[in-house]
Amino acid sequence: MKAELVRIGNSRGIRIPKPLIEQCGFREVVELRVENDRLIISPERKPRQGWREAFRAAGTGTPDDAMLPDFPNAFDDEEWTW
């Protein structure tokens, strides 16, 4: 689909057809960014939106306790001078 750039003061704008607005889930505010010389328009996202689900999907992983060796260990007892 092609859209014509229209003058809006010193800027330019495009009109987005209603079906595309609905399909993309746009509301009053959208986010704009440029990637590889392309303009990306996406629905506004709240900070950290989706993080909770991403952490849950990542699983519990290894408990922090398992990452640390038992203390005191042989090094602490025999080689280290306190």
Mean pLDDT value across the chain: 86
What pTM did the predictor assign?
0.53
Q: On the CB side of 1, how many CA atoms lie within 13 Å of its CA?
A: 7
* pLDDT for the residue 58: 83
pLDDT on residue 48:
85
Domains and CATH numbers, the chain: 1-59 (2.10.260.10)
How far apart CA 12 and CA 59 sit, in angstroms, is 46
**Tell me: the pLDDT tens digits for 35-74?**
999 999 999 888 888 888 888 888 776 666 666 666 777 7
Cβ neighbours of residue 17 closer than 8 Å, sequence gap 6 or more: 1
